[in-house]
Amino acid sequence: MAAENSDALDRSCAELWKIIGTVLVRCMSSLPVWNFFVLLSQVQLKYGPFLVNPQIIRQQRGLLQEYVQSLLGEGIINDQFASVQTLKSADEPDAIIKLITSYFVDVEAVLSELTRSIDSSEADFDQLAAQANTIKEKSLCIGAEHMKLACENLIRACEEKQGRKFSQALDWMKLEFAQTQDKLDAVVQMQMEKRILRLGSKGPK
């Protein structure tokens, strides 16, 4: 009976962490980074000591590793992402979270510029190619494989200077970005949950 109660408690804690992680990810999109981590610390102080146990921490690490491996298998990301994921330092323990969110913001901005440019009557394909290359470089840095391929396709369309091909290539890039964003959002959420568990395991100061 005691073992059953313990398993039920672990499941309840894990479900609660999923809810907390989802809420925090939503807050992350609307809060400055500093304010977000203040919020994260407050959550840790209030809930961490009551919910964290070593088994949940191990399970969370395993789930994250399995998910990243599945993205590698799908080709959404490449080995570069796995390398970037290990980036840690005393001052930047959550570097991968900031890198992913910064990538989203930067790519969305360039995609908006590309959309506005192609809608104009006089498109500068050399400029459009340069903007597409900017996204490619950012995608290479983070290891977003599908986005890199979409960028290469868009750059070829720019070189051919055909508006129709460019529009088709841009639509494909937007679809790939939406998919990549959805997949990496899940990585962010799992990283955030791991962060909460790591802080919670230390208990309130």
Domains (range + CATH), the chain: 2-78+187-202 (no CATH), 97-182 (1.20.120.160)
DSSP 126: H
**Contact (Cβ atoms closer than 8 angstroms) between residue 75 and residue 145:** yes
pLDDT value of residue 35: 52
From the number of C-beta atoms within 10 Å of its C-beta (0-12, 13-18, 19+), residue 145 rates as buried
Q: What is the spatial distance between Cα 47 and Cα 109, in angstroms, rounded to a whole number? A: 36
Residue ranges for the chain with pLDDT beneath 50: 9, 33-34, 37, 49-50, 89-90, 200-205
DSSP 93: T
Q: What is the spatial distance between Cα 26 and Cα 13, in angstroms, rounded to a whole number? A: 20
pLDDT value of residue 19: 58
